[in-house]
């Protein structure tokens, strides 16, 4: 009888242990379902990507000699910009297309003004979205290489993209904006036909922003109605002084 009770006790412990193991497995599978491996988190941003659509998670590509910052001089009519300290950045919004999503950041003072701008526009029925904010030199290198390969030369690519180390996006004070009602017009000259652009053209300066590359700009860069820079602080104004005052 005593032996039987001992066997029953051991059997009960075995059953309870099996149930606990099963629960752990189920919880683990649930975590994988709700937090898939393609969500990447770090101290500054959360990026949800797909392997096919994310151009940023590549190995670092060494800059060519012509692309290195030399003597703080313009290169292909683009001005050099240092990559800002990440501690100065905060998230201003997210941008998504299909199954690709990323969170965008700006310098804190520019971010606060932009969020106020976006909020005010929404009260007037205008849906302004953030497409791209801060960008590292490494990320710009990938975009630059793609554009050079597409257009055949650095000279042609420079009309549409800045070389790495020469993008206003490195500063944390530049942002690409779009109209949430017309995603097909993101990063196209036709963005100027949207209500979002018409609102920005009238009100952006009230929040300290100006268009970096208007038609016939002095740098000879293609017209970019979506690209705006914050200039309403001593630091930001100093960073963009050359771009504002130099004519080629």
CATH number at residue 232: 3.30.1380.10
In sequence order, what DSSP letters do the residues of 203-239 get, joined into one string? HGGGGTEEEEE-TT-TT-PPPEEEEEEE--SHHHHHH
Asked whether residue 22 falls in the same domain as residue 143, the answer is no
Structure tokens at 79: 């001005």
CA dihedral 37, 44, 145, 38 (to 10 degrees): 10
Nearest to 128 by CA among 48, 232, 225: 225
Q: Are 138 and 111 in contact (CB under 8 A)?
A: no
Number of domains in the chain: 2
Calpha distance 151→206 (Å, rounded): 37
Q: Which residues, 6+ apart, have CB-to-CB distance to 138 below 8 Å?
A: 60, 61, 164
Asked whether residue 169 falls in the same domain as residue 210, the answer is: yes
Is residue 46 domain-shared with residue 19, that is, in the same domain? no
Residues 110 and 20 in one domain: no
Higher pLDDT, 150 or 25: 150
The model's confidence at residue 21, banded by pLDDT at 50, 70 and 90, is: very low
pLDDT tier, 7 (very low <50, low <70, confident <90, very high otherwise): very low
Query: pLDDT exceeding 90 applies to what percent of the chain?
Result: 66
Can you tell me the mean pLDDT for 154-170?
Answer: 96
The boundaries of the domain holding residue 120 are 41-245
Residue 52 shares a structural domain with residue 27: no
Question: Residues 120, 240: one domain?
Answer: yes
Q: Convert the pLDDT of each residue in 185-206 to its tens digit.
A: 999 999 999 999 999 999 999 9
Q: How far apart are CA 150 and CA 80, in angstroms?
A: 23
Give 82's Cβ-side CA count (13 Å radius): 9
Mean confidence (pLDDT) of the chain: 80
Residues 111, 134 share a domain = yes
Do 233 and 124 lie in a common domain? yes
Place of tokens 């001005």: 79
Judge if 84 and 120 occupy the same domain: yes
Kindly state the average pLDDT of the residues 76-93. 96
Q: Per residue in 46-80, pLDDT tens?
A: 333 333 333 333 333 444 444 455 557 899 999 99
Q: What is the C-alpha separation between 112 and 135, in angstroms, rounded?
A: 18
Same domain? For 29 and 69 the reply is: no
Residues 238, 150 share a domain: yes
Q: Quick one: which of 186, 31, 220 has its CA closest to 96?
A: 186
Which has more pLDDT, 21 or 78? 78
The enclosing H or E element of 41 equals strand 39-41
75 DSSP 8-state letter: B
Beta-carbon contacts of 109 under 8 Å, excluding residues fewer than 6 positions away, are: 230, 233, 236
Residue 206 neighbours by CB distance under 10 Å: 12
Same domain flag for 20 and 129:
no
pLDDT at 25: 36
Q: Which residues contact 112 (CB under 8 A, 6 or more apart)?
A: none
């Amino acid at each position: 009888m005593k032996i039987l009770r001992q066997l029953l006790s051991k059997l009960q412990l075995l059953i309870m242990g099996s149930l606990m193991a099963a629960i752990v497995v189920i919880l683990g599978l649930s975590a994988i379902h709700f937090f898939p491996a393609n969500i990447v988190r770090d101290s500054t941003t959360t990026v949800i990507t797909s392997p096919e659509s994310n151009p940023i998670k590549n190995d670092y590509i060494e800059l060519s000699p012509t692309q290195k910052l030399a003597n703080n001089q313009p290169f292909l009519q683009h001005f050099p910009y240092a990559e800002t300290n990440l501690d100065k950045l905060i998230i201003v919004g997210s941008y998504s297309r299909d199954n690709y999503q990323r969170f965008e950041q700006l310098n804190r003072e520019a971010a606060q003004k932009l969020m106020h701008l976006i909020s005010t526009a929404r009260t007037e029925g205008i849906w302004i979205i953030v497409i791209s904010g801060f960008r590292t030199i490494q990320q710009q290198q990938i975009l630059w290489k793609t554009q050079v390969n597409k257009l055949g030369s650095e000279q042609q690519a420079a009309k549409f993209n800045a070389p790495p180390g020469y993008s206003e996006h490195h500063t944390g004070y530049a942002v690409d904006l779009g109209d949430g009602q017309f995603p097909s017009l993101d990063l196209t000259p036709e963005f100027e036909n949207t209500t979002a652009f018409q609102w920005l053209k009238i009100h952006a300066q009230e929040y300290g922003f100006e268009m970096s590359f208007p038609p016939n700009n002095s740098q000879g860069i293609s017209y970019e109605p979506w690209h705006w820079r914050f200039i309403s602080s001593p630091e930001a104004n100093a960073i963009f002084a050359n771009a504002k005052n130099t004519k080629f």
